[in-house]
Structure 1
Amino acid sequence: MTTTVQFIGGPTALLELGGVRFLTDPTFDPPGDHPIGTRVQVKLIGPAVGPDELGPVDAVLLSHDQHPDNLDDLGREYLQRVPLVLGTAGTAERIGGPARELPLWQGIDVGGVRVTGVPARHGPMGSEYLTGEVRGFVLTGPDLPSVYVSGDNASLGIVQEIADNLGPIDIAVLFGGRGRSTLMDAYLTLGADEMARAAEILQAKTVVPIHIDGWGHFTEDRSAVPAAFAKRGLSDRLVMPPAGEVVILGA
């Protein structure tokens, strides 16, 4: 059975693995401003595919619900249309309905795919009280490639922990953009160079970078990624799907 990805925009991608369809961090709003307290996140690019065009989705892998660049208004509405949303305990409590906690290092079977919750840290050490808890995911199954979905993670130490416990990984879906927070003057996600290093740590055969453009607080865009991977001799591992197209992933 083939493994495919359809990049929707921002952190949103539709993964099909073993016939099971997973959607990452739904963001379907058009470009515009998204206030967070006294700050504003600015969305620059709308989705390539709308929620009504996705077809059936078996589960949403929601890294976190606290920030609109990972769950915007239309994305939040979409969650009530799916049978299962996996994330943190806080996400399950705030979203309700189909949302449930996926604890760290524990798994749940969705169809024939095992989904395991893994750590993510959305900023520097000690920033969790400001950014909130975030979840990553590892998907596995008999005769299937292993897939790591990083969520908003800024820590290569955590990537190493995941490699040590569940690696090597066949396909790594890495959130990048090197987002910067004015609230604590720090980077919140991996940059392109760190994404390439993460690929090495995971021994990933295929790397799909997402969440690498489309928001004003990103300090890098998608053009930084190919150069970073070429510098480490990893260009053959890199897959950057055009928005809206379904791409078959090798492993």
Structure 2
Amino acid sequence: MTTVTVVGGPTAVLEYGGLRVVTDPTFDPPGDYPLGPLTLTKTSGPALSRAAVGRVDLVLLSHDQHPDNLDEAGRRTVASAPLTLSTADAAARVGATGLPTWRHHDVGPVRVTAVPARHGPPGCEAVTGTVTGFVLSGEGLPTVYVSGDNASLDHVREIAARFPRVDAALLFGGAVRTPLIDAKLTLDAADMVEAARILGVRRVVPLHVEGWTHFTENESHVRTAFAEAGLSGLLARPPDGTPFDLP
């Protein structure tokens, strides 16, 4: 059985192929978090503490350079986990294992493939840094896409071409904006609908849509967009901290 538990922000716990997998670990309390010339403000804490999550076998870290995707408690999670997969930049900074785009890493019966992601418009990398997404697959297991902070539907189309069957998608949204770039840095709700269509998924778990003031959209925007598209049945978002089954 594959289950997912939304912790808050970009953080979820996947029970997948016998592994306990955590995405972009963020367990710090609400407050102000400096980021260069910016201060990011967290408005709500995690539904589960790091201690309540318990054993972690694998961390999937889309990037390490922003506190809404990796905070201090998250860094301790990375340090204690037996394996963290991320970008080459994160590998150098936090001790993760770098996984280049389209390369895979097998952990028992689970294959993790790094897939392309871009944290904003073309050319944004000098400001936002590099990011990655992931696809999890395995014999008898659903294929699950974890988008990370990706704003590019073109990259989603590339992923769909490589993985013609994706059963579920953990899509990071929030339509993030900051004063540094006059553009969306993550998917908005309409983009999430289009990503679901491109991938042909049976289930969408929205992540990264609550808890920070630089998110310009929230879960209600996602629900409205999927309802207007006639795709409400794809959404899976029970209360944070409550596990549910993925197809």
- TM above 0.5, one fold? yes
CA distance in 2, matches of 1:246, 1:81: 23
Q: Output the CA distance in 2 between the equivalents of 1:191 and 1:167.
A: 24
C-alpha displacement of 1:72: 0.9
The answer on 1:196 being equivalent to 2:193 is yes
Q: Give the paired residue count.
A: 247
Instruction: Write out aligned runs for 1:94-173 (5 A).
Output: 94-96=93-95, 99-173=96-170
The percent of aligned pairs where both chains have the same amino acid is 57
Residue 168 of structure 1 and its aligned partner are, at CA, apart by 2.4
* Bigger strand share: 1
- Alignment partner for residue 207 of structure 1, among 204, 209, 216? 204
Describe the superposition over 1:4-25 as per-residue Cα deviations: whole angstroms up to 9, x where unpaired: 0011010000011121111000
1:31 corresponds in structure 2 to: 30
1:43 aligns with 2:47: no
8 A Cα contact 1:58 1:110, kept in partner: no
Supply the distance in 1 between the matched residues of 2:164 and 2:237 (Cα, whole angstroms).
Answer: 22
TM norm structure 1:
0.97
CA distance in 1, matches of 2:21, 2:108: 11
2:224 equivalent in structure 1: 227
Q: Name the residue aligned to 1:21.
A: 20
What do the CA deviations read for 1:47-90 (whole angstroms, capped 9, x no partner)? 01111111211100000000000001111122111100100001
CA distance in 2, matches of 1:231, 1:168: 25
Q: Which residue is 1:88 aligned to?
A: 87
Inter-partner Cα distance in structure 2 for 1:126 and 1:78: 31
Q: Deviations over 1:199-227 (max 9, x none)?
A: 00000011100100100101011111111
- 1:246 deviation in Å? 0.8
Q: CA RMSD in A?
A: 0.8
Task: Return 5+ residue gaps in structure 1 as ranges.
Answer: none
Report the secondary structure of 1:13's partner residue. strand
Give me the whole-angstrom Cα distance separating, in 2, the residues matched to 1:125 and 1:71.
23
4+ runs deviating over 4 angstroms = none
Cα shift at 1:241 = 2.5
**Could you tell me whether the CA contact under 8 Å between 1:212 and 1:220 is conserved in 2?**
yes
2:244 aligned partner: 247
Q: Is the 8 A contact 1:6 1:245 kept in 2?
A: yes
Give the secondary structure class of the aligned counterpart of 1:79: helix
TM-score, reference length from structure 2: 0.98
Residue 174 of structure 2 corresponds to which residue in structure 1? 177
**Which structure 2 residue ranges, 5 or more long, are not aligned?**
none
The residue type equivalent to 1:48 in the other structure is A
